[in-house]
Amino acid sequence: MGKIDNTELEFYFFMRGQSGSFHTNLFKTIMSADFGNQYKLAFGFPDEVTVVQRYQKEDGYWESLQDKFEKKVNENEEA
């Protein structure tokens, strides 16, 4: 398990209802899009589409993302 990147961090905040309006609307749009439209959205937002697709299709991805976030918080508290 690697470190959490900025896109994953934005998605984490989105899922917790704590993201800004742009990312909230972007992630909602990606999540509601079919595969063809996700493909089109990926031209402008490839990382965001990848995170949503992993969330939708990869078992355990959300749990691993939460673990990465907790690890980041703990590292920042120790610094």
Give me 76's structure tokens. Answer: 């920042």
The 10s digit of each residue's pLDDT in 21-51 is: 999 999 999 999 999 999 999 999 999 999 9
- pLDDT for 6: 94
- What is the model's pTM? 0.88
User: What is the rounded end-to-end Cα distance, in angstroms, of the chain?
Assistant: 21
The 10s digit of each residue's pLDDT in 66-76 is: 999 998 888 77
Confidence of residue 79 (pLDDT cuts 50, 70, 90): low
* DSSP 8-state assignment for residue 58: S
The 10s digit of each residue's pLDDT in 9-18 is: 999 999 999 9
